[in-house]
Amino acid sequence: MKLSRFNIVIVIGFLAIVGVIIMQLFIISNARKIAKKETEDKIFFALQDVLEKLYKDNQTGLLVSNQVERISENYFTVNVNYEFENTILEHYLISEFQKKNLDLDFEYAIYNCSSDQMAFSNHINSNGTKEPIKCPTCFTKQPEYTYYFAIRFPDIEKNYFKNLSQYWIFTSVLFLVLIIYVYSVLLMLKQKKYTELQKDFINNMSHEFKTPLASILIASNYVKQQNEIKENPKLSKYNQIIVNQTNKLNEHIEKILYVAKTESKQMLIDKSKFELKPVLDLVKDNIKLKYDKKIDININVDKAYKINADEFHIYNIVFNLVDNSVKYCESNPKIEINVHEKNKQLLIEIKDNGCGIPPKDLPFVFDKFFRVTRKDITNIEGFGIGLSYVKKICELHKWKIAIANNIDKGITVTIQINQKDYA
């Protein structure tokens, strides 16, 4: 199956996060080994210092062989080789552990050679408090020693975890990021599926509607030519209403198809060189034919500019803008279309005397389906995609478009055509 760029990005992102987590776990593992080695060394040196103090009290020297032996990760034995007091041993253990910053609970036992048993002592917490020993069976005898003591650290693993707390916090954050990423990807995939279903529905629905609408238009135009209709003003009026509403519905369907095409990236432009002025004149003529009211449209062009663009779409976007100027004018529409050069760019300015746009809505007027807040919102037709279409066509031509309220009344829409696209 061919992977799309979307799927590739998802896979790469997932692998990157998993890779970072694996690397973080590897760092934690190494940090644990280092912490373990450091703690064992501190314990060994602390027990060695305790042993030296015991020998110093007895005024004898240390044995040549190693007297501190690690039996397991949390269990050590110390061969003293002579009899000693448990209270003195306990004092030395507490003081030396404090010197080495060993914040560990421990418990110890002393071997009694006369009874051949381990004489259990206290469980000493890291804060210095004493409790009865918790695990007597954890202490085993060492047959090769005569005088020795054993020490056990029951919570040494917790100490490792505590020392690595910052690593665990960072790892938890990474796991949280991974969970959020996976959840977001699932939502995007679900949304993508719904979007594809929506586009399929729009395409099918639009095409299914266009066929009967075409039949209605053909039938209406045929009926219009009949003498019975021509001689009856009322029937002629009703037939004209059918034609007008069918054309209006057809326009809405074309806009829905435009949305489907832009979302599926099927919209293409076919550039060719043509003179701009005749296109503007055609827009003017068609606007005046569309509305049964007085409309003043003045076209001012410096010279006969030729532009390199898609003539069909350029006509559509200018028609859309002028149509909006007429539609949103409360009095007699007065529209100026000025074409002139400025800063090595060709500007098409469409200025009207309409009701303007609230400043809070200006940044969003080119957004798809956005409707400007107006008092007469119930009388406004359309889907709010006309200006988004205009913006899309400008982007496909790599032009800029801007909209601003006039100082007195109405708005001015400016299309900036690049120097390479006109002559």
Angle between helices 156-163 and 165-224 (to 10 degrees): 50
Q: By the 8 A CB rule, do 89 and 108 touch?
A: yes
Pairing of strands 296-301, 334-342: parallel
pLDDT lower than 50: segments of the chain: 1-2, 377-378
Contacts for 139 with CB less than 8 Å, ≥ 6 apart: 109, 118, 120, 150, 152
Pairing of strands 334-342, 345-351: antiparallel
Q: Give me the count of residues in the chain.
A: 423
In the prediction, which pLDDT does 1 show? 42
Output DSSP code: residue 84.
Answer: -
In the prediction, which pLDDT does 65 show? 63
Single pTM value for the model: 0.50
In the prediction, which pLDDT does 255 show? 67
In the prediction, which pLDDT does 64 show? 54
Across 60-209, the runs of DSSP E, i.e. the strands, are: 68-72, 75-79, 106-112, 117-124, 130-132, 148-152
76 φ/ψ angles, rounded to the nearest 5 degrees: -130, 150
